[in-house]
Amino acid sequence: MFYLDRAATTPVRREVLEAMWPFLTGVFGNPASTHGVGEQAARALDQARAEVAAFLGCRPAEVVFTTGGTEGANTAVKGIALATPRGRHVVTSAIEHEAVLASCSYLERFHGFDVTVLPVDADGRVDPAVLARALRADTTLVSIAHASNEIGTVQDVPALAEVAHAVGARFHTDAVQSAPWLPVGPGVLGADAVSIAGHKLGAPKGTGVLVVRTGVALEPLLHGGGQERGRRSGTVDVAGAVAIATACRLVAAERPAAAAQAAAVRDAVIDGVLARVPGAVRTGARADRLPGHASFCFPGDPSEPGAPAVNGETVLLELEQRDVVSSSGSACAAGSTEASHVLTALGLPEDVARTALRLTFDRTLLPGDVPTVVDAVADAVAAVRALG
């Protein structure tokens, strides 16, 4: 079986399981406790924080452990906006993850913020000049993802962050999808806050990190004991922190070679599908794209005028019959009958957006596997088209 849905989640790596196991068993102390059992857990937490900081090129004190990308995005968007007295205007893009869009909507509905949603081009890019025109004297935060989970397009976040900072606004980026492939530290991206999720890196679901640069005010979502330097109250999950730290260390060592190999396989998959499936269109950028990400839509067959677009969910079922597990886009929207807001933002009609196919993989998909995957996609689409 080819598991090509790694943008949704990845299996937990054995090294990660082995590293976290002691903190699920014998080393069970609360890291806030002052006795020996608690201090042992606290030392492990400090080490995990230092390892994550090394991965992200930030200070250990800037690392906040979370439960994943959704909590990180909520904390960054709501927390920075509500803590900063600059103004009540936030800016985001039309292709953001729902965690960001819903957080902006919350600020609008309950705190009187104005929200500006930026358009994107046909490949899903945000133009820094468009962002510059949208900024105002009262803009307090800009939140734009480093890379799209649905179409793989990588944004020029350093340029976008520079535009935001020029007027004094803070900048957050969702780096959940890019962290396995690209450097995503706040220094590299120029961001004030960066959120990542452990389960995209080979750590368990329910683990994550939000980096908040020193000096950036943050109103916490969770109040209580003041853990994580007051930015996230609640007893810290030491095993989870160790898990994501271990995953970060492994990814850092493998990332350059893995990215190069996956990018070559990605290009071969994209070229193969476009050549084999009549009318297939690539979604997302060709060059500025995540290495392990290929995505398509399948309008009607151009050789049969008037033929309808295929049903994307049916294509997924056909692919699974051919031992290829994939998705139509964001796992968070799986089962929804609505067309993807990301694909319609690119200008695709709703019926075409519903034909989406996303193939996401890592270095375990080898060049020799490409013909099998391409054949499976071509056969699956042909089978669905034959159904009429």
Q: Which of the residues are catalytic? A: 332
Q: Chain-centre distance of CA 216, in angstroms?
A: 22
CB proximity list for 159: less than 8 A, separation 6 or greater:
128
Residue-wise DSSP of 317-362: HHHHHTTEE-BSS-GGGTT--SPPHHHHHTT--HHHHTT-EEEE--
Q: Chain-centre distance of CA 240, in angstroms?
A: 19
Report which residue type is found at 359: L
Q: Chain-centre distance of CA 278, in angstroms?
A: 30
C-alpha 55/C-alpha 247 separation (Å) is 10
CA dihedral over 272, 277, 278, 282, signed as positive or negative? negative
- DSSP annotation of 66: E
CB proximity list for 34: less than 8 A, separation 6 or greater:
none
